[in-house]
Structure 1
Amino acid sequence: MKKIPCMLMRGGTSKGVFLLADDLPQNIQERDELILAIMGSGHALQIDGIGGGSPQTSKVAIISRSPHPDADIDYLFAQVSITDRIVDTAPNCGNILCAVGSYAIEKGLMPITGETTVVRIRNINTDTFVNSTIQTPNGQVRYEGDTTIASVPGHAAPISLTFLNACGTKTGKLLPTGRAIDIFDGVEVSCIDMAMPVVLIDAPQLNKTGYETAAQLESDKEFMQRLESIRCQAGLAMGLGDVSQKVIPKPVLVSPAIHGGTVNVRYFMPHKCHGALAVTGAIAIATGTLINNSVVKRYLTKHVDMQHISIEHLSGNFDVSLSQQGEFPLGLQASIIRTARKLFSGDVYVP
C-alpha cells in the first residue's frame, strides 16, 4: 500500500481532499489514476476510497507554492467523477477555494502575518487570482467564529475571498457568444463566463417555476434531458467544444426572488441540482444582473446595488459584492464571505 499525506477539509458547502503537488506524480495520467484510487471512484458510494459519493464531496485540491510574482499559492482543482473514472480539471471550485488559504498556512507554505493573513492564490484551472483573508490570531488558523452560511450547520470564522480577474475565465469573454440572449431548443438563455461559465435559463420556458426541490427537478427525466441538450448546445456556442463529458458550463434555472433577495435560482453541477449554490456560479449569476437584456435582468424588481446582490437558492441566500476596478467588464471584481474547517489530517492509503 502507498501512503500519501492528506487533509480533508470543508470549504463553503463542499468537502474535499487536499494534497500537496510534491506528493503526487508529475505525469498527469499517473496522477489522475492515483486520485481515482484515493477517492474510490468507479463505485456509487466510492466505498473503497474516501470520496463521499456526491459531487459536492468528490473533490480534490492540489496545492503548491506559486512561482508567479502575483501569487503565494497555486491551487489546481479536480472534480472527480463518482461512478466513472474521470478527473476533470477544467473548472475551478470556489467552495473548495475557501479552504485553500487555511490549508496552505497549516502546511507551512505561507507565513502568518498578524491577526489576519492574506493568501494570494492563483487558480491553475482558470489562470485567475484570488485574495483570501484568513483569521490567524495568536499565530494559528482560527476556525471557530460567529459566521453562518446557508446549507452548512453551525458557525465558524469568516473567510473573505476577492476574485481579482474572473471575467472570461475559460473563454476570454464575459459573453462568449457575443449576445446577451441565445435561443436553444426554443428556450431563451444567457451564456456568461465570469468565474465559471454558466447558462442562465428562464425557468418558465422549461415549464418550471424555479422554486422546485432538487428531488422534484431530478426526477423529471424529460426536463433533465432538455436541460442537458441546452447545456451541450450552449457549450458549443461558447467555444467550449463538446461538453457532454465535461462539467462546464453549469446550467442554472432563473426565476423572480420571493424572499427579498435579488433573484432566485436552481444551480446544477451539471447533472444534479446543488443543495445550495457554488461560489463561482454565484459570481456569474450576480454579474448577470448587470447585463442589459439578460435572462436575470427581466426578473429584477428594483435597482441592483452592486455591493449587495442576494441570490436565493434551495437552502437560503448567497450574498455577492461586485466592484469595478477598471473598465467594464475586465475590471469587475467580486467579493464573498464564506467559512471552512479542517476535518482531519493524516495519511490516505491506496493499493
Structure 2
Amino acid sequence: MTQTAIPFLFMRGGTSRGPYLNRADLPEDLDTLAEVLIAMVGSGHPLNIDGIGGGAAVTTKVAMLSASDDDWADVDYFFAQVSVEDRLVDFRPTCGNILSGVGPAAIEMGLVAARTDETPVNIHAVNTGARVAAVVKTPGGTVSYEGDAQIDGVPGTAAPVALTFMDTVGGVTGAFLPTGNLTDTIDGIPVTCMDVAMPMVIARATSFGLTGYESAAELDENADFFARMEAVRIKAGALMGMGDVSQSVTPKFGLLAPARAGGTVAARYFMPWKTHPTMAVTGAQCLASCVLTPGTVADAPVPNENPARITLEHASGRIDVLVDYDQTEAGTAIKAAGLVRTARKLAAGHVFVPASVWAGN
C-alpha cells in the first residue's frame, strides 16, 4: 500500500472550510501529525494542488474531534492552521468559524447522539481551553443543513448553528490585557493587546495611513503596510509573553475605523499575512471586547445595554456579537459571547496521504 486512507468529513464551517477528522484516526505525535496535515492539505504550493486545501488561509484549516473526558463537554475540538505555501502547521490558535461545523460533524461522526428538533453540543476547544455551547438543528434526529440563516461571506442561506463562547479570556496568554496596559505604543503606533478568544494586536487604521474601509484585495496589495504591521505584531507578541511569533499565526492583527454602514465599528482582520475576506469568529469576540473596554484604541460608541450587541462592519458585510459582560472598577469582565453561524457538509469518505509520511495506526 503506497497511501494511507484517513476517514474524513469535508465541511464548510462559517466562512472557512476544511477536513473534520476523528483524532483517533491520526498519529498522536504532533510532529508526525503536522506532516500528515501538510500532505493532506497540500501545503507548499499556492494552489495546494497536491492536496485538498483551497489555496487560502480560510481553506487550509483542520478540525480534529474526539469524545471529551471533560465533565461539562461532549466533544474535544483540536484545531490546526496549516499554511498555504510554507509547509507550517500552527496548533496554538483555535478557529471559531471552523468550530461552527464541530457540532454537526460530531453528530455525523457518532460522537454525539442527535435529539429530535435540536441537539445541544458542548464543545471543549482544546487549543485555548474555551467552552462553547452549540445548538444544532436536528429535525427527526438528523442534522439539517438547510434553513433561513444568512451570514455575510457565504452565498445563500442555511440552518443556523447557535454558539455561546465561555472561558475565552486569557486562553493563550493568561490575561485579558497581556501587557498589563490598555494601550502600548510600538514603532510609533498606538495598539491594544488583548486576549479574548484569540490573542490580538489592535490598532486604528489611520495610524497606518489607511481609512479602514479598504477591500481585502486592496490591503493585500499594500506591501508597505504589511511590512509595518508585521514588525509591530512581532514586537507585540514578545510584550504579550508569547515569545518569537514570527512563525506563528498568533497574535492576529486587527484595524478599526468609525462605522459607516450603521454598525458599531468598521474592522479589518489579518490572518496575519493575508487579509481575512470576512471576519474570524474568535477575532470578532476580541474586537468586540476591545470596543467595550474604555481606554483602548477602539474609541467607538458602546451600546447602553447588557448583553451588548456589537456589530462589526468587515470586508464582506457585517457580523453581530452579543457580549455578556460586567463593567467593574477593575475593568471590563467578559462573561460570554453569542454568535449565529452556519455550516454545511460538502463531502465524506477518505483522504489519502503517502505511506512514507505516515503508515497509519
TM over 0.5: yes
Aligned position for 1:45 = 47
Name the structure 2 match of 1:204: 206
Match of 2:161 in 1: 159
Q: Is the 8 A contact 1:60 1:79 kept in 2?
A: yes
Q: What are the within-5 Å matches in structure 2 for residues 192-341 of structure 1?
A: 192-296=194-298, 298-300=299-301, 303=304, 306-324=307-325, 329=332, 332-341=335-344
The residue that corresponds to 2:358 in the other structure is: none
Q: Deviations over 1:69-103 (max 9, x none)?
A: 11110010000011112111100000000000100
Structure 1 CA distance, aligned partners of 2:45 and 2:14?
Answer: 25
Tell me the SS of whatever aligns to 1:227: helix
* SS of residue matched to 1:346: strand
Query: Do 1:326 and 1:332's aligned partners in 2 also have CA atoms closer than 8 Å?
Result: no
Please provide the CA RMSD for this pair. 1.5
Q: Given the superposition, is the C-alpha separation of residues 302 and 140 from structure 1 closer, same or farther in structure 2, using an over 3 Å criterion?
A: closer
Contact residue 293 and residue 332 of structure 2 kept, 8 A:
no
Paired with 2:16 and 2:102, the residues of 1 have a C-alpha distance of 12
- CA positional deviation for 1:300: 2.5
Name 1:8's counterpart in structure 2.
Answer: 10
1:303 shift after superposition: 4.6
Within 5 Å, which residues of 2 pair with 1:94-105?
A: 94-105=96-107
Alignment partners' CA distance in 2, 1:173 and 1:304 = 25
User: 1:343 and 2:323 equivalent?
Assistant: no
Q: TM-score, normalised by structure 2?
A: 0.94
The CA deviation at 1:34 is 1.0
| Contact preservation (8 Å) 2:323, 2:334 | no
Q: Could you list the per-position Cα deviations for residues 91-142 of structure 1 after superposition, in whole angstroms to 9, with x for gaps in the alignment?
A: 0000000000100000111011231111010011001110011001101001
Shift of 1:301: 7.6
AA aligned to 1:264 is A
Residues 145 and 155 in structure 1, CA contact (< 8 A), matched pair in contact too: yes
Residue-by-residue CA offset, 1:219-245 (whole Å, 9 max, x unaligned): 121111001011111111111111100
Alignment map for 1:25-40 (pairs within 5 Å) = 25-40=27-42
1:24 aligns with 2:26: yes
CA contact (8 A) 2:303 2:309 kept: no
- The residue type paired with residue 263 of structure 1 is V
2:277/2:316 contact within 8 Å kept: yes
Q: Greater shift after overlay, 298-307 or 193-202? A: 298-307
User: Structure 1, residues 289-312: CA drift from partner, whole Å, max 9, x if none?
Assistant: 11111111x232865764311000
Unaligned segments of structure 1, at least 5 residues: none
Question: Number of aligned pairs?
Answer: 350
Matches of 2:35 and 2:219, distance apart in 1: 33
**What TM-score, normalized by structure 1, do the two folds share?**
0.97
Shift of 1:324: 3.4
Alignment pair present for 1:65 and 2:67: yes
